[in-house]
Structure 1
C-alpha cells in the first residue's frame, strides 16, 4: 500500500479511562485483561490501506480455529494520516491497538527511534521465523541490538496495470509482451502515452498522476533519500533527480489525468475508466479490484514495468508496548504472516509475499480479473531483480513532501524550480 500503500485508514478512540487501562496492560507481556464473562478476547488491529486480511477471509478463518478470539479491525485510507494519529497515541500511551500496521517507509523510524514503544517480538519466539523472510524484509525491522520490531506482510514489486479496452480504442496494442517491449524505458512509456493522447477516448488520460511515475522510478534505486551510512542525500540523489525529471516531462507532455491519489475522485476514476495505465505495485491489484468492481473484470491487464524492476511499499505488523493482549496479538501476527497465509493473500488479493516459501508457492499464479495475467511470474521476476533499498528514518516524510511538490506542478502550474524549493522547505519542517 504506502507502499505505498500505498492508501490507508484509522479510527481514533478511547478516553482517559481507557488510556489508564492500556498503561496498566503495558506492565506485563501477554496480559489477558478485558476478557468477557465467557473468557473471550477481542484483539484490535489498526491498519491503513488494504492489507487484505479481512477481504481474503483470514480473520474468519483464524476465529474459527481460535473460538476464544474475536478480531476487530479499524482502518485509515491515507497512511500519512494513520501515522500522525499513531504518533499522537504512542506519545500519550493510550488508544493503541493490540496490532498496529507499519509502512515500510516508517519501519526504520520504529527500529531506530521507537523501539521503546513496541514489543521485541523475539521474546515471543520470532527468531525462529527469520528463515521465512527475505533478508531485506527481516533486516529492516531489526534494531542494531537484534530486537525484532515487526513481522513483514508483503513486498511491493512493480509492474504496469493497463486498460485493454481504452488502449484498443486509441489504436494501441494490448498484448502485454508487445507493450513491455514498447515501454522498456520510461521515455518509451511517455512516448506511447503521447500516442495514446492523440486518439484517447473522451475524458481519459494515459496515467492517473505524474506522482505515480516519481514513486515508481525512485523505487528502482538502491539509495534514494539516505545512503548506506545513514546520511541524508536526497538533494543530490540520482534516484530523486531521474524520478523528478521524468515526472516533470510527463506533466509537460500532457498525459496525466491530474488526479490526487487516495482521494474520492481518484477512487471513482477506476470505475469511470479515466486513465489507461497505472504503475502498480502488487498490492495495488486488490485496490483496483475494490474500486473498479466487477465491471472492471477482464478490462485490465498487467505488463512488465519500464526499466529495472523496483519496489513500492510493503508493510509490517507490530505490537505496541501498551497493547492489552500481547501474547495473543503475537500469535495472530505470526499466523497472518506465515507462508500459507501470505500465499493466500497474493492469490486472493494480489499482495506479493515477503515470505520466501510463499514466493515459491505463488510462482504460477494467474489472475482472471486482470485478463489471466501471470502475476506470479511478473511480480516474482520483478521481486528477484528489484534492488534491496536503503531505508532511512524519514523516508516516508521526504517522499510525501517531494510528491506534494509535484502536485503543485501538476495542479497549480507551479514552476519545477519553485516546487522543488517548496519541497525542500517542507522536508526541513517535517524532519527538523
Structure 2
C-alpha cells in the first residue's frame, strides 16, 4: 500500500514538472535556446564602416554574435557570385552606389519597411533614402554615407588669373557651367595655356548629369532616350569644354592625374566630398592652396553606400536593429570624424566637427559647403541598366577627347550602341 502511494506521488510530481516545464524555466536549468545569441555575419569593404564602431556594436548588442568580414578585391562580383550560388550569403551586406543593379533581385532581400525603417525615415536625406527603394516600393538599402559635390579650386591660381578667389564669391559668380567655362578661358589666357580649368571630359559629363533628375530611365523601366534634355545638355557641355581647350585629359585614379594636381596644371574640378582625401594624398605639395565652393550649375552627388539584409538571414529583426544603430545620426557623425564618411542624417550638419577649419584648404571649414550641397541634391532614378548605358557614353566621350574623333559621328554611333545594348 505504501509503495503504491509512493508511486502515485512520484507520478503526480513528474506530471507537474512536465506541465510547468512547458511554460517556465526551473532555477538553474540550462536553456540553450534562450541563452543562445543571434549569429550575424556582415560583409563590408575597407573604410566603409569604422572597425572601432563594429567593436562597440558587440557591447551594444549582447544578444548578437557579430562576425564582420572585410571583403577585399571585387566586392560587387563576389556578392553577385554568392547570390547566384545561393550559398554562403551573409546576413548583412554593404552595397555601394551600384545598388540599382540589384533591384531585379529584390526578392533576395528583406523589405526594411517591414522591419520598422519607416519609423525613422525623416531622420535621413530624402533623395538618399529613395535611392535604396526599388520601383515596386521595397526598401532594400539603408542609408549610409553620401557624396555631395562641390567645386575644388586653387585659390592662388584663380586670384592670379583675375578670377574671384573667395569661396563665397566663387559660389556667387561662377554659378553656372557657362560661367565656369568663361573662367576657364580666362585661366588659359592668363597662364599661356599651361594651366587647365579641369581634369577630363568624363568628369564634366558626369557632374552635369548628377545635377538633374531624369537620367536614362523612368521607374517603370522606360528608356528616355539619349536626346532627353539632361543627357543632351551634359553631352554638349562636355564637348564644349573639350573644344575650348579647358581639359587636361588627366583621368582620375592615375599617376598622371596626381602629378597634374600636384604640379598646378589643373586649377579646379567638381567632385564629391570624399575627393578631399584623394586630393590631399595626390597633391601634398599644394597644401593650403585649395578652397571649396558650391558647384557651378547646381548640387549633385557621387557615390555613397547602403546596408541590406538578405532573405537567407534567420535573424532579420536583430539585423535591422544593428544596422539602424550603426547608421544612427550620432554614429554617422563619428564616422565622419574617423573616416570622412559624409552623413546622410542632416541633423548632424550643424555639429562643431562639421565646421572645423582644415589646413589643406587654407583654414576653410569645407564641411559647411558640402552640408549645404547635400540638402539640395535632386531626387533621381537610376535603374539597373544605368551602368551599362553610362559606360558606353563615357567611353565614347573619351574617344572624342583623346583621339579627336568627330563629335557628331561619335554621338550617332553612341545612340546606336546604346540601342543595341538595350535590346540584349
TM-score range, shorter chain: 0.7 to 0.9
In the TM superposition, 1:155-170 aligns within 5 A as 155-168=146-159, 170=161
Distance of 2:88 and 2:162 partners within structure 1? 54
Give the aligned partner of residue 385 of structure 2: 394
Are residues 1:417 and 2:411 paired? no
Asked if the contact 2:146–2:344 (Cα under 8 Å) also holds between the matched residues in 1, the reply is yes
Secondary structure in structure 1 of the residue aligned to 2:295: coil
Q: Which consecutive residues of structure 1, in runs of 5 or more, have no partner in the other structure?
A: 1-38
Q: Deviations over 1:302-347 (max 9, x none)?
A: 0111123233333212234457986775455323321112223344
Are residues 1:245 and 2:236 paired? yes
Give the aligned partner of residue 44 of structure 2: 46
Distance of 2:354 and 2:77 partners within structure 1? 39
Q: Determine which of 312, 315, 319 is the counterpart of 2:309.
A: 319
Larger radius of gyration: 2
Q: Cα gap change, 1:290/1:118 in structure 2, threshold over 3 Å: closer, same or farther?
A: farther
Q: Deviations over 1:261-281 (max 9, x none)?
A: 334543555445442211012
Q: Cα gap change, 1:146/1:406 in structure 2, threshold over 3 Å: closer, same or farther?
A: closer
TM-score by length of 1: 0.75
Give the aligned partner of residue 373 of structure 2: 382
Give the aligned partner of residue 215 of structure 1: 206
In the TM superposition, 1:18-417 aligns within 5 A as 43-47=41-45, 51=48, 53-54=49-50, 58-59=53-54, 61-62=56-57, 69=66, 71-75=68-72, 82-94=75-87, 98-104=91-97, 106-111=98-103, 113-122=104-113, 124-143=115-134, 146-168=137-159, 170=161, 172-200=163-191, 204-227=195-218, 229-267=220-258, 269-293=260-284, 295-321=285-311, 330-361=320-351, 365-368=355-358, 369-417=360-408
TM-score by length of 2: 0.76
Secondary structure in structure 1 of the residue aligned to 2:106: coil
Distance of 1:83 and 1:275 partners within structure 2? 32
Superposition RMSD on alpha carbons, in Å? 3.6
Secondary structure in structure 2 of the residue aligned to 1:115: helix
Shift of 1:401: 1.9
Q: Cα gap change, 1:298/1:339 in structure 2, threshold over 3 Å: closer, same or farther?
A: same
Q: Cα gap change, 1:430/1:103 in structure 2, threshold over 3 Å: closer, same or farther?
A: farther
Q: Cα gap change, 1:148/1:385 in structure 2, threshold over 3 Å: closer, same or farther?
A: closer
Where has structure 1 moved over 6 Å in runs of 4 or more? 39-42, 323-328
